Amino acid sequence: MPELPEVETTLRLVRPGILGRTIRGVEVCWPRTIGGLGEHEFSSLVLGARIAQARRRAKYIRLDLERGSARTGYEAAGSILIHLRMSGRLLLGRRGAAAPGWRRVSLELDRGVLHFVDVRKFGRFVWTATPAEDLAHLGPEPLSHEFTAEWLHGALARRRRQLKALLLDQSFLAGLGNIYVDEALHEARLHPLTPSDRVSKARARELHQAIQRILGEAIEREGSSFDGFYVTPEGNPGAYQDQFQVYGREGLPCRSCGIRLIKMLVAQRGTHVCTRCQVLPRKLLARKA
Ligand SMILES: [Zn+2]
């Protein structure tokens, strides 16, 4: 499932092809993808609009639309919010070229076509008049200046939740999913079941560093491809899966200490742990025994 690095990579690669372009045609092949609006209404809201801005917030891609002309000036015309979910992809195609398989929505632009392809059909490509409100529930961006080690330590201490569940919660911190949470917790030597208010200041600093380093490197490597779904808009797999320390490596030796990694269920998600590198606080261990 695409997480922050995969969504960021997707945006970076399609942005030059769509920015400033005007939507000349709309084709909806799977109505559920566009949310509650009918195809006709969706088309009337986006046809003729220009893509003024394309950015990422958490795991969403937000395309801000505007209407008008250079002569009369431009006015905001809502936004398209795209969520890739399990298998969504954005692709740029040429007008008149054969459409890709599994496409759910296509926007014909004044130059090229933007396709939303989605094998599993959980992805969304919806128009909204209130993008800021729709995204207001999201926590800070982990690669922004807002996200500091001090903030993280304070925010963890104020909650009393299992670390893994809390880090997956998009209203706590935006953009992380199962892969990068497992990798970050291993790098920071924190057990996923650790109560968040038991994380020391020093360990919170390590976790902060791990999250930023791992996300930064994963973006550099254009994300992780491991389940056959995620490839970049150019059709290439990402390369960060080669760097995985724990994710998908259950039964294999930990690259730090050599013991066998295990997979356990935490927050209903398959969770990859080294029980030697990632030790639970002593009190919890005693209770478990
Ligand atoms: Zn280890």
- Kindly state whether residue 143 falls inside one of the protein's structural domains: no
| Gap from CA of 185 to ligand 1 centroid (Å) | 12
Does residue 61 sit in the same domain as residue 168? Answer: no
Among the candidates 69, 104, 134, a domain finishes at 134
Q: Of the listed 2, 131, 142, 233, which one is catalytic?
A: 2
Does residue 102 sit in the same domain as residue 179? Answer: no
- Kindly state whether residue 107 falls inside one of the protein's structural domains: yes
Q: Of the listed 100, 269, 276, 281, which one is catalytic?
A: 269
Range of 210's domain?
149-288
If you average pLDDT over every residue of the chain, what do you get? 95
Q: What is the pLDDT of residue 37?
A: 93
What DSSP letter does each residue of 35-91 carry, written as one string?
TTS-HHHHHHHHTT-EEEEEEEETTEEEEEEEEEETTTEEEEEEEEEEE-TTTEEEE
Distance separating alpha carbons of residues 204 and 182, to the nearest angstrom:
15
| Gap from CA of 180 to ligand 1 centroid (Å) | 17
- Kindly state whether residue 97 falls inside one of the protein's structural domains: yes
Token pair belonging to 2: 């695409």
Does residue 87 sit in the same domain as residue 180? Answer: no
CATH of residue 254 = 1.10.8.50
The predicted model gives 190-215 an average pLDDT of 97
Does residue 184 sit in the same domain as residue 279? Answer: yes
Number of structural domains the chain divides into: 2
**Full-model pTM:** 0.95
Does residue 154 sit in the same domain as residue 125? Answer: no
Q: Is 3 a catalytic residue?
A: yes
Does residue 124 sit in the same domain as residue 208? Answer: no
- Kindly state whether residue 195 falls inside one of the protein's structural domains: yes
CB 196, CB 163: distance < 8 Å: yes
Quote the DSSP letter at residue 34: G
Phi first, then psi, for residue 113 (nearest 5°) are -135, 135
Does residue 123 sit in the same domain as residue 162? Answer: no
| Gap from CA of 274 to ligand 1 centroid (Å) | 5
pLDDT at 19 > cutoff 60 = yes
Q: Which residue has the higher pLDDT, 106 or 95?
A: 106
Does residue 284 sit in the same domain as residue 153? Answer: yes
Query: How far apart, in Å, are the Cα atoms of 257 and each of 189, 202, 253?
Result: 12, 21, 8
Q: Of the listed 15, 50, 56, 59, which one is catalytic?
A: 59
pLDDT digits (tens, 9 = 90+) for 48-96: 999 999 999 999 999 999 999 889 999 999 999 999 999 999 999 998 8
CB 34, CB 105: distance < 8 Å: yes
Closest CA to 105 of 22, 27, 44: 27
The predicted model gives 101-121 an average pLDDT of 96
Q: Is 201 a catalytic residue?
A: no
pLDDT at 44 > cutoff 90 = yes
Sheet holding 60-69, edge to edge: 50-57, 60-69, 73-83, 124-128
Does residue 167 sit in the same domain as residue 279? Answer: yes
Does residue 108 sit in the same domain as residue 164? Answer: no
